[in-house]
């Protein structure tokens, strides 16, 4: 038997070979998996619902009269900020979910399948976008019921929501990296709380920085959350500048460029 004939005998027929991973289909399948997890465990949506309701209602009626003279006037200032806070504070769910999958052994099961390796992570992040949309929708719905009327109209609001979704998606990569580094989901949540709360509260979300002491005003001026809130306010007020939106998009691209490769590196090394 010639070498060519021997090679033909041992060649696996094309129809029996494992299928090549499909990037889009695999990612969307994992995104649907994330949605199904929420359906079966609706308590996972608690933060996406409670945070926008609490911050929008509580701060408007508790501090609105004291800070701006009227709740309606303060709502116009506050709502773009609570929109930012509501989305950013729930981005940690991506890292928590990934850490849980690692602890439960899901990684090993997915590695044994002919799927695109990053699909578990990318799909989870895509699925989380639905939670961000829900949170943003609750903030805007409450605001409209309370009398908020954006000067930028529907176009400005939609652009503002799109911008915060992009930034939220990029921030999620930070937590996926930490979800693969830290030992427990609780550690991911605690670290997220320790980082995000100072950044969101020491910003221009609730008050005008002009009323702050100089040292705090200097921090607020360089706080990335403040820049994001400025962009959101300008879009919703119809006064957006390309530099404001461009800064957010550039920061989003930078976060993805740094933390997406780190996440994938840790994912490949995880046992």
- pLDDT tens-digit profile of 13-31? 545 444 455 767 776 777 7
Range scoring the smallest mean pLDDT among 34-43, 67-76, 163-172: 34-43
Reduce the DSSP state of residue 171 to 3 states and report it: helix
Across 87-106, average pLDDT: 85
End-to-end CA, the chain: 45
Q: What is the pLDDT of residues 191-245, one digit of tens each?
A: 999 999 899 999 999 988 988 899 999 999 999 999 999 999 999 999 988 889 9
What pLDDT sits at residue 8? Answer: 47
- The burial of 44, by beta-carbon neighbours within 10 Å (0-12 exposed, 13-18 middle, 19 or more buried), is given as middle
Which tokens belong to 142?
């409450």
Best CA proximity match to 97, nearest among 53, 52, 49, 36 = 36
């Amino acid at each position: 038997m010639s070498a060519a004939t021997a090679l033909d005998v041992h060649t696996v027929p094309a129809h029996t070979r494992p299928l090549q991973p499909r990037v889009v289909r695999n990612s969307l399948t994992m995104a649907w998996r994330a949605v199904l997890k929420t359906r079966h465990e609706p308590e996972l949506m608690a933060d996406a619902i409670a945070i926008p309701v609490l911050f929008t209602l509580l701060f408007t009626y508790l501090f609105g009269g004291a800070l701006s003279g009227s709740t309606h006037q303060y709502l116009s200032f506050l709502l773009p900020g609570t929109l930012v806070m509501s989305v950013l504070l729930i981005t940690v769910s991506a890292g928590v979910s990934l850490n849980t999958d690692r602890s439960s052994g899901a990684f090993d099961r997915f590695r044994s399948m002919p799927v695109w390796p990053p699909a578990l992570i990318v799909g989870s992040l895509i699925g989380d976008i639905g939670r961000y949309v829900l949170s943003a929708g609750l903030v805007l719905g409450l605001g409209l019921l309370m009398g908020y009327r954006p000067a930028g109209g529907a176009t400005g609001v939609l652009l503002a929501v799109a911008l915060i979704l992009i930034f939220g998606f990029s921030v999620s990569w930070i937590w996926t990296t930490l979800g693969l580094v830290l030992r427990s989901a609780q550690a991911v949540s605690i670290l997220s709380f320790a980082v995000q709360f100072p950044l969101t509260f020491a910003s221009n979300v609730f008050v005008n920085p002009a009323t702050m002491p100089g040292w705090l005003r200097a921090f607020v001026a360089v706080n990335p959350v403040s820049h994001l809130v400025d962009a959101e306010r300008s879009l919703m007020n119809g006064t957006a500048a390309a530099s404001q939106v461009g800064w957010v998009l550039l920061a989003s691209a930078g976060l993805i460029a740094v933390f997406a490769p780190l996440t994938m590196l840790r994912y490949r090394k995880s046992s």
